[in-house]
Structure 1
Amino acid sequence: MTMLAFATEFPVQTSNTSERFVAVVREWLLGSPHTLLGTSDVEGFGRLGHWSATKGNEALVSLRGARDSVDAASVRYRRLDDGLEWTTTVTFSRGDVDAWVAVRVFCESHHPATRLPPAKKPVVVRTLIDALGGGPDSSFCVEQRAYRLSNTEIDRAVTIIQGRSTNRLPIVYVSCMFRGGYVLDPDRLANDLSGMAHVVVEPNRAFSLRLQIDANSENVFGGGIGIYWPDGGGRRSFFMGRGYDGPAELAKAVREEVRGALVNRRPLERCTWAAVQEVVSRAALDELKAAGSTEVEKYIETFDREISSKNELLADAEREIARLKVEVRIYEARIPSGSGTTLNMGGEQDLYPDEISGMVVDALADYLTRVRGDSRRSHVLAALVNANPNKSPAVAYRETLKEHLRGASGLDQKARRALEQLGFEVSDNGKHYKLVFQGDDRYTFSLPKTGSDYRGGLNAAGDISRLLF
């Protein structure tokens, strides 16, 4: 059984050459603790044309050539280890305006009982970024830290959310939590995903609320993380922190989703082994023609290699067609019957987790008590209520308000901190405290600094709860 365990392509600085690329790959190979190859074993590695060597359970092949405006190289390294054959192909392609690198790792089991190990990002990806430098991917640059949007970049965020950006790599969008901050460390996630995706971070909750309007509520929010693909070229995925044991588990899920999507994405043709083989073959043919060679065998060998590269490209295309057919069937199977009903959110957005869905479920449950029990309407409403449990924390929010405002004749530090954790902005407004929920001025409240009696705080909690929760 063969598995494509990892695949990615990313731009590097255009000042790099194929010669520099093979030097970096050579350094990576010789520095690996898993190889038995020594300096003498790789003599001539990466020279123009075709080169190969074997030693023990390892095999190494390099291709390098230049023709017209293309400078390209590819290295294929195979190693057999405990019944598993690992094949890593690393490719470089520089054209007129950019330079790209591709990394693909296959794992093949030679024994049916051998289990394939979990896929990981190979070390060579970081090695190449460090040595060759991340290049521009449309308006982004390949980096090992997150890109933080400014308050004025709403249009850029809308372009990302709606899949209209022109970059190649997917974008992992990290939204601001309701109470501020982020559910995980965006820079650490960006470091883990360098060379695989761009991590983009929104600045604050107010930005998210403005984005919701311009992006037609397509944006992830409230601390959620969304994966958005340029040109609508992939399946959007969304992650909420409360569904995971902690930031580490959430980050792991995001990384695995990106890795799985990249493995199933068609590679850039220029960054494949077959494409470099074609460049090398055509360059060799050009040399033979220029020299006026009549050595038929060399012509035949050159043509055979070019035909082989074409056949490999064709085989790649056939595999892609087969993969797409399987993917279509998977997506069709994931769509349950009767799931065509959708609800347009209009101009509103959740101000706390599961707010709107909780309101809808509550409204359905309430309406269910007022319809005839044996009617079709009753059956449909009951099915909807039973299939959609209310996960809204509204009840807990109401209790928190009562707990901290009961008997209060002002706001101490503990109560103020509790209000801020719920999503209120608390400010001093003369004789009163001004409370604004989630930055939305429609939900502004006043609390007296000195209450008239012990019931004042409880009454205020009740008034706020009735309006919000």
Structure 2
Amino acid sequence: MINTENVQITKEGRFLFMQIYSAIFPVKETLTQDILIKLVIEWNQGSPHNKITNLDWDGQKRNVKFEQENLSLAIEEIRRYNTIAIRFHQFDENNIIWNTDIVVNFNKHIFSIKLDRETTDKTTGFVPKFKPPILVNMLLNRNYIATDNGIQISDRPISITKNNYKIIEDIICRKIVCSMPVIYVTKSWGMYPFRVQELAYNLRGVAHVFVEDDTEVSKLLKESCNGMNSHHGSIGIYYSGSSAAYKIIIANKYKGREKVLIDRIVNIVSRYVNQQARDRMLTWEGVQNELLKLKYASATEKKAEAESEVSEVYKNFATELKENENTIKEKERTIEDLNNRIVALQVENQGLRAKYERITEVPLLYYGIENELYDGEIRDQVLEVLNSYLGNIKKKTRKEHILQDILEYNEPTGTLSAKREEIKHILKGYTKVDESLKRNLKQFGFVITKDGGHYKLTYKGDPRYMFTMASSGSDSRHGGGNLASQINKNLL
């Protein structure tokens, strides 16, 4: 099963970044800081291939790093937030870089785990798969994972009968909102369309899997859920957030292709969870940045104490302290810029998932020589044109059926519409080109040059897509909107 979330490619195509697995779930108070570190060490030491042989934790230090050749395990504690962040890094024989990030907030008892993979231009062929790390199994088996708004997190399916059907009813009708997606599998002629146990195991720690045990439940749900429930062998996918609509998959289309159906469900769910934004303090980079800020604050405080207590000493070392202060500030700005870049790339690069999603199939069309100005652009533009053209085709004809099929099985990334809204927001009511507006336009992708009393905005440096922007907006109600409309019409 191919999963290609959060894919990042340099302009030269020298490396490929993939977010393979992502999960956030609540844990019990019995999972302490020391138990977490011991579990991670046990996880590493139990690996037949990635074991760090010199790993000897003294049971006290929580800011420590173990290294061996191409392997490293770094542990960082940030006491102010009662948080521990762990990164396991590997560079394997195929020139693939692996990073497994684990961050636990012990105040809120939230566990975050993320597996990324990065390839270089020397990487040999490989197939990335969505596969929960063994550490998730360990947490489940040792009963450290808490419930999700009262719903048990498990690697096994939960049966729905006439006695407990209110659970799935409340989820479908959003009376109960889980932090994880919910999969509801129904029966057809008394049989499930695939091995439900395999699906639950593949999605452990990522989604809840409910299965219809009594087909009479469908009749009850039809009346109470306004037809939003799956039935007669179909599969319903219900998301935790309001940004994604529920999805019903008709299993009859996959007769004889049970594995394909399971893989598609796993891929849909993994694609959704990989797109969910994380609180910065639930990421390795966010914790590192906060630690640097705290170190800088501590250094500033010590500097102030030194100034008040030993002014003469401070005078002798003022130059050295200033240099250190500038170095820390520069590193802080660099990390902030990198974090902003990471967030921007994570959002923009979701579009690449469709390009690689069918990597094992024969493509319907091949790309020409026109380069994408941002990832997923060509796919979204083509799908939008096809969708628009569909309304002009004669009904019940072969052309209509082909276009409907293509549109049904090729979902747009959403990047195109998101960019249209983003440029509207950036230019809304602007009165002058200040540094904030320039920064937002640059992050959007424009190269900005001054031309007399105007600015030239060139998207990704392509002179075909150049727009003129006045230094000050003469009409704040319409100037920005008109420019945004021009950009959306000619570029997006």
Matched, 1:107 2:118: yes
State the alpha-carbon separation in 2 of the partners of residues 124 and 22 from structure 1: 11
Q: Deviations over 1:224-274 (max 9, x none)?
A: 122211123436444343314254443233223322332333234332112
**Number of the residue aligned with 2:342:** 316
**For the structure 1 residues 385 and 330, does the alpha-carbon distance in structure 2 shift closer, same or farther, using more than 3 Å as the test?**
closer
Q: 1:205-220, aligned counterparts within 5 Å?
A: 205-220=215-230
State the alpha-carbon separation in 2 of the partners of residues 331 and 315 from structure 1: 23
State the alpha-carbon separation in 2 of the partners of residues 141 and 328 from structure 1: 40
**Number of the residue aligned with 2:87:** 75
**For the structure 1 residues 339 and 14, does the alpha-carbon distance in structure 2 shift closer, same or farther, using more than 3 Å as the test?**
farther
State the alpha-carbon separation in 2 of the partners of residues 106 and 281 from structure 1: 26
**Number of the residue aligned with 1:88:** 100
Would you say how many aligned residue pairs link Structure 1 and Structure 2? Answer: 348
2, 12, 24: which one aligns with 2:39: 24
**For the structure 1 residues 194 and 332, does the alpha-carbon distance in structure 2 shift closer, same or farther, using more than 3 Å as the test?**
farther
SS at match of 2:199: helix
Q: How far does residue 339 in structure 1 lie from its aligned partner after superposition? A: 8.5
**For the structure 1 residues 106 and 387, does the alpha-carbon distance in structure 2 shift closer, same or farther, using more than 3 Å as the test?**
closer
Q: How far does residue 195 in structure 1 lie from its aligned partner after superposition? A: 0.6
State the alpha-carbon separation in 2 of the partners of residues 18 and 200 from structure 1: 33
State the alpha-carbon separation in 2 of the partners of residues 105 and 382 from structure 1: 45
State the alpha-carbon separation in 2 of the partners of residues 274 and 301 from structure 1: 19
State the alpha-carbon separation in 1 of the partners of residues 190 and 344 from structure 2: 48
Q: Deviations over 1:376-395 (max 9, x none)?
A: 99x64566997799xxxxxx
State the alpha-carbon separation in 2 of the partners of residues 16 and 161 from structure 1: 32
**Number of the residue aligned with 2:280:** 269
28, 50, 57: which one aligns with 1:13: 28
Q: Which runs of 5+ in 1 are unaligned?
A: 342-375, 390-469
Matched, 1:55 2:68: yes
133, 149, 155: which one aligns with 2:160: 149
SS at match of 1:210: helix
Q: Deviations over 1:185-213 (max 9, x none)?
A: 43342222111111112332221122123
- Asked if the contact 1:66/1:283 (under 8 Å) is kept, the reply is no
The letter of the residue matching 2:136 is: V
State the alpha-carbon separation in 2 of the partners of residues 17 and 306 from structure 1: 30
State the alpha-carbon separation in 2 of the partners of residues 385 and 289 from structure 1: 68
- Asked if the contact 1:14/1:98 (under 8 Å) is kept, the reply is yes
- Asked if the contact 1:163/1:229 (under 8 Å) is kept, the reply is no
**Number of the residue aligned with 2:437:** none
Matched, 1:134 2:135: no
- Asked if the contact 1:220/1:238 (under 8 Å) is kept, the reply is yes
Q: Which runs of 5+ in 2 are unaligned?
A: 1-15, 307-319, 352-374, 405-492
State the alpha-carbon separation in 2 of the partners of residues 13 and 284 from structure 1: 31
109, 118, 126: which one aligns with 1:116: 126
State the alpha-carbon separation in 1 of the partners of residues 215 and 157 from structure 2: 18
**For the structure 1 residues 23 and 311, does the alpha-carbon distance in structure 2 shift closer, same or farther, using more than 3 Å as the test?**
farther
Identity across aligned pairs (percent)? 17
Q: How far does residue 24 in structure 1 lie from its aligned partner after superposition? A: 0.9
Q: How far does residue 17 in structure 1 lie from its aligned partner after superposition? A: 2.4
238, 259, 269: which one aligns with 1:228: 238
State the alpha-carbon separation in 1 of the partners of residues 325 and 126 from structure 2: 42
State the alpha-carbon separation in 1 of the partners of residues 79 and 273 from structure 2: 28
SS at match of 2:92: strand
Q: How far does residue 174 in structure 1 lie from its aligned partner after superposition? A: 1.0
Q: How far does residue 85 in structure 1 lie from its aligned partner after superposition? A: 2.0
Q: Deviations over 1:5-24 (max 9, x none)?
A: 22222222133223321211
Q: Deviations over 1:72-127 (max 9, x none)?
A: 322232232222222222222222x4322322222323426x32323131323323
State the alpha-carbon separation in 1 of the partners of residues 115 and 59 from structure 2: 20
**Bigger Cα Rg:** 1
**Number of the residue aligned with 1:166:** 177
State the alpha-carbon separation in 2 of the partners of residues 82 and 387 from structure 1: 41
State the alpha-carbon separation in 2 of the partners of residues 245 and 221 from structure 1: 20
The letter of the residue matching 2:29 is: T
Q: How far does residue 309 in structure 1 lie from its aligned partner after superposition? A: 4.9
Q: How far does residue 216 in structure 1 lie from its aligned partner after superposition? A: 2.1
- Asked if the contact 1:4/1:106 (under 8 Å) is kept, the reply is yes
- Asked if the contact 2:172/2:225 (under 8 Å) is kept, the reply is yes
State the alpha-carbon separation in 1 of the partners of residues 401 and 178 from structure 2: 43
- Asked if the contact 1:79/1:87 (under 8 Å) is kept, the reply is no
State the alpha-carbon separation in 2 of the partners of residues 116 and 13 from structure 1: 37
State the alpha-carbon separation in 1 of the partners of residues 330 and 272 from structure 2: 34
State the alpha-carbon separation in 2 of the partners of residues 44 and 309 from structure 1: 31
- Asked if the contact 1:11/1:142 (under 8 Å) is kept, the reply is no
**Number of the residue aligned with 1:450:** none
- Asked if the contact 1:6/1:106 (under 8 Å) is kept, the reply is no
TM-score scaled by structure 2? 0.60
- Asked if the contact 1:174/1:201 (under 8 Å) is kept, the reply is yes
TM-score scaled by structure 1? 0.63
**For the structure 1 residues 181 and 301, does the alpha-carbon distance in structure 2 shift closer, same or farther, using more than 3 Å as the test?**
farther
- Pairwise CA RMSD: 3.8
Q: How far does residue 44 in structure 1 lie from its aligned partner after superposition? A: 5.9
- Asked if the contact 1:281/1:303 (under 8 Å) is kept, the reply is no
State the alpha-carbon separation in 1 of the partners of residues 401 and 297 from structure 2: 72
**Number of the residue aligned with 2:489:** none
- Asked if the contact 2:185/2:192 (under 8 Å) is kept, the reply is yes
**Number of the residue aligned with 2:208:** 198
State the alpha-carbon separation in 2 of the partners of residues 286 and 86 from structure 1: 33
Q: How far does residue 45 in structure 1 lie from its aligned partner after superposition? A: 8.9
